[in-house]
Chain A
Amino acid sequence: MKIKYIILFLLPLSLLLLSFSLATGETAGSKEAGFIGAETCKDCHEAQYDSYAKSVHFKESIKGPQSQDACETCHGAGAMHVEKGGGRDVDIFTFDLDTDPQAKSARCLACHQRTPGMDLWDMGVHKRNDVSCDSCHDLHVAGRQKPNEPEVCFGCHRDVKIEANKRSHHPILEGKVSCSSCHSPHGSLSKSMVKADDPQQLCFNCHADKRGPAVWEHPPVEENCQSCHAVHGSNHAKLLNERIPQLCQNCHDWSRHPGTPYDNTASYTSRWDCLRCHPAIHGSNSPSGGGMRYVR
């Protein structure tokens, strides 16, 4: 019941913050010297201008490029560039491969530092590995500028691309799970930038039947789902890290069947794997002591 009170507390708090948000305002940024205006840029860069004109950043209602200095908001004042007759990198900021990634991201963060979630950009693995905003986002496109997942992510994460196409996999390629369903690409305080405090809490978002707390717990489930599962994909059924019974035997030995070698001559009974008799492997809720061994 406590949770109801928490929600009842948070809802008015949120509305209060909302009312603040609608009541406060900031003044527009001041212009720097040397700006020449987008029409001048268009004279030489028509294709880039046209694509930019279709993008959301062209909207005048957005306090950003168009409402301020258009092209020069991101590329910097262009007067010197024009004076010198143009040319790549001639007194103009470009988003080239060899441009310092932090400098590129800084251009975007000038406005987007305040975007929800971007406060953790400095903490993230992407920034620390020289990934810049334009590594994933293209501003010169119409409509939404969200990167095309998973293709953009697979461009760097080759191993994940391979895993996601293995025989047993999460439906990433089928479009039912996206990389950003589980990861915060803009930074996180969690390992692998997952969207939860730890991996198992993330998994429980969709697999709440495994959340428990079970009467008879299986500690690896409570510690880390990845002790047994390869989350992006696996050659083994159920995204397991290893074939059963080998996976189970990596932790369990006891008299009779747990320590038995299951070779090519083993009886058929054992073939359905350990889960055949121990199906409640994620934790049993039985009142019987059989739950201790996950058989009920």
Chain B
Amino acid sequence: MKRMIYLPMALLIATPALAADELHGDLTLGMRTTHFASDDKSAKYDEYRDMSDGLFGDVNLLFDNEAYYLGLSIQNPSLDDQSYEVRGGQFGLGRARVYFDELNHQLSRDALTSLTGIGSNYLTIPDPVPPVLAWKEFDYNVERKVFGTEVTVDPQQSPFYVKFSMEQQQHEGVMPWGLFNFSDFEVPMPVDYTTDNLIVESGYRGKETTAVLTAGYSVFDNDNDLLTIDDGTDREEYSTAADNYSYNIGARLVQQLPKESVLALKASYNRNKSEADWSDYTQFTSPSADGDYDGDIEYIRGNATLTSQWSAMLDTRLFYNYVDRNNDSEEITSLDDDRSNHLYEYDRHEAGLDANYRLNKANKLTGGYEFTYTDQNREDADTTADNLLFGQLKNTSLDWMSAKLRLEYLNRSSDTNYSADTLEGDGLIHQFYTAFDYADKDRYKAKLSFDFQPTEDLGLGLSYALVYDDYNATQFGVQDDQRHEFYLDVNVLLPAKIRLNTYAGYEYTNSSFDARRYNPGGADPTLPATSTNYNWSQETSYDFVVIGGSLTVPVIHQLELIFTADHQWVDGNIDFARSAAAGAALEPVSDADDYYKTQLGAKGIYQATDAWSVTLGYLYEKSNLDEWEYTNYTYTPGSDYLSGAGLDSDYEAHQVFITTTFHF
């Protein structure tokens, strides 16, 4: 694979010969080296990218003439984030592309484990477990490779078109997984997934009518049907993602109507099926007679949308959506502890109307109402009704400014599936506790934004948004939450063609929460507080700040300097409270996902000729995480065993690079 780096190099040398009139593109070849302030390279630094020292390059070629085109794009050949694309087509007839894309998702480096069999689905715990110093080192990462092709036949002189796309995704690696029954081991779960996707779309476009048929088919295959842990005495078996497949078919019709109205009708059918193979389990007996589990869920969806332009001032949109989720999966009752699975289903209806009214050339008013009703058989929730009202005013009175104010109000009311008459024991908590995702609430949203362009050389954007949720009927659970967002960006062209682009953001989130801690039999919140049974509350808040930008300075005609900076940080805090009768005051978590990240860059681009440029640059990155979970971290807390997943978050890196680019 490493030899692929020679491809852009060879192309760079051969460029003058390639530089025919009908060939456009650019070739870039570079070299870089990175120095880390500490010995270890954090996975966070190259979570989605390969920043290895040495050569790197890009190729972008496009050949075209009056009738055809053919393009080639290569990014980072030979590196773990390489991608290739060949695309071509005939103007006015169709196009096709073939692509390959690779991504090595680095999750955590230098993890440690005493287990043997890393990467397989059979992990063995040595007896006795050796001291941490004797554990093996490994990396948590998942490599993703995507191969695909797309073909579109779309003749310009025909009302018909056809599109095909096929893609295969391969995921391979290990990710952290928890085991609850083996002294809380944190283990490398093997990932060997293959997903194949096929999509077909055919359509007819008439002057007033468009009709489209779509079909999709997706197959997921997991090479590991279960994960086995063996400590020499016992074997424990854990389930993994089941093989599954999904298909969907759909049709839509879009019809132009009088009054510049457009009606869109859509219907689709989607079925997801899975098969969990239980034949290899030895610890548990299959509760299904045929030794496997058959999952089977279908979705039936319908949509109707009508847009109308009643006049130059007024346009409207009316819509209705319907979803019916039917669960025809197998019902089982486990043989080890007599538990039955719950087949979750729902119907959802959404309807809404919104209108845009142009008061005059400079003012546009938008308003609307949406209603959503969900009927489900969740264990806790029965029906949920959402009523959403919104309004928006946009003003462009001034040539150099536009302003927009949007207000939203949502009211949610739900019926639970719990009846106080039937609750007993620990389940009594359901009389008092409500999950946030279906709890009754009022939500208020406001957003105000301005865009200024007083001169061609100055642009400024400013926005503020507020979201406030009031869970007014909740005794235990989320009580309220709020979110404030401020964003600013400024783009200025200064004298001497110096360009400054800056941005800043501030976000503040806060939520309050009440709950009850109890031992079996103590769910009633009116019972006197004891050390094991008490009510408590929690307030969570996060401040997030980001500031950054770039400064481009043309030094001389051929030389341009570009400076970039980005700094962001988070300060999270969680406060707790409980009555004194429950014990000592609870200690706040003051380092809740606190982090900062700094990126600085400086580069000079020397344009040697119209076609050839050289760039020399420096990049600095530093990241630091202060999270209570990792404070005073130990691999063997009590009788537990951890592997250090996520522990390697911090890094400080200096990179120097040089690239040369040939444009033609």
Contacts and interface: CB of A to CB of B under 8 A. Distances in A.
Interface of A: 2-3, 6-7, 10-11, 13-14, 17-18, 20-26, 56, 59-63, 97-98, 113-116, 119-120, 122-123, 128, 130, 142-144, 158-159, 161-162, 165-167, 171, 174-176, 189, 197-198, 201, 204-206, 208-217, 219-220, 222-223, 227, 235-237, 242-243, 246, 249-256, 259-265, 267-269, 271-273, 275-280, 284-292, 295-296
Contact of B637 (A214, A256, A269): A269
B586 A261 contact: yes
Contacts of A256: 518-520
A208 to B, nearest CB: 4
Interface residues on B, range: 35 or more
A212 B66 contact: no
Interface in B458-478: 461, 463, 465, 476-478
* Interface of chain A, main secondary structure: loop
A43 B18 CA distance: 32
Interface in B472-515: 476-478, 485, 487, 489, 503, 505, 507, 513, 515
A173 to B, nearest CB: 9
A287 B287 contact: yes
A61 B239 contact: no
B564 interface: no
B457 interface: no
A20 B337 CA distance: 62
Contacts of A142: 24
A249 B515 contact: yes
A3 B245 contact: yes
Interface in B416-447: 426, 429, 433, 435-437
B610 to A, nearest CB: 14
Interface stretch (B9-17, B112-120, B212-220, B612-620): B212-220
Given A209-B241, A271-B629, A288-B337, A197 B544 contact: no
A123 B347 CA distance: 24
Contacts of B295: 212-215
Interface SS of B by simple majority: strand
Given A123-B307, A212-B295, A277 B523 contact: no
A197 B437 contact: no
Interface stretch (B127-135, B178-186, B601-609): B178-186
Contacts of A24: 157-160
Contacts of A3: 217, 245, 247
Contact of A287 (B193, B286, B299, B429): B286
Contact of B158 (A21, A250, A260, A277): A21
A25 B92 CA distance: 12
Contacts of A20: 158, 160
A289 B339 contact: yes
Contacts, number: 395
Given A209-B222, A262-B589, 9 more contacts: A24-B157, A212-B242, A213-B295, A213-B327, A214-B295, A215-B293, A255-B429, A259-B516, A279-B179
B173 interface: no
Contact of B186 (A10, A205, A276): A276
A236 B640 CA distance: 24
B67 A61 contact: yes
18 contacts: A10-B200, A62-B156, A63-B92, A98-B396, A130-B364, A167-B625, A171-B48, A197-B270, A198-B323, A208-B195, A215-B242, A215-B329, A255-B518, A255-B522, A256-B519, A264-B628, A288-B284, A295-B181
Given A120-B264, A159-B487, A292 B341 contact: yes
Interface string B154-192: 111111111110000101000001111100101001000
Interface string B263-289: 010101010111010100101111110
A204 B218 CA distance: 10
A119 B244 contact: no
B356 A128 contact: yes
B523 A21 contact: no
Given A174-B81, A265-B586, A278 B215 contact: no
Interface in B525-574: 536, 538, 540, 542, 544, 546, 566, 568, 570, 572, 574
A261 B538 contact: yes
B210 interface: yes
A143 to B, nearest CB: 5
A21 B293 contact: no
A49 to B, nearest CB: 18
B412 interface: no
B310 interface: no
Contacts of B274: 211-214, 285
A87 to B, nearest CB: 17
Contact of B239 (A2, A115, A251, A296): A296
B426 A116 contact: no
A284 B239 contact: yes
Contacts of B92: 61-63
B597 interface: yes
A252 to B, nearest CB: 8
Contacts of B574: 243, 246, 263
Among A174, A250, A284, chain B packs the most CB atoms within 10 A around the CB of A250
A251 B284 CA distance: 30
A287 B587 contact: no
A54 to B, nearest CB: 8
Given A97-B453, A287-B284, A259 B268 contact: no
Given A114-B205, A201-B270, A279-B177, A289 B336 contact: yes
Contact of B629 (A26, A61, A272): A272
B123 interface: no
A261 B239 contact: no
A264 B220 contact: no
Given A3-B245, A253-B433, A116 B201 contact: yes
Contacts of A222: 325, 344
Given A249-B515, A271-B637, A158 B158 contact: no
A27 to B, nearest CB: 9
Contact of A286 (B239, B516, B523, B544): B239
A122 B593 contact: no
Contacts of A11: 200
A292 to B, nearest CB: 5
Nearest to A249: B515
Contacts of B622: none
Interface in B250-271: 250, 252, 254, 262, 264, 266, 268, 270
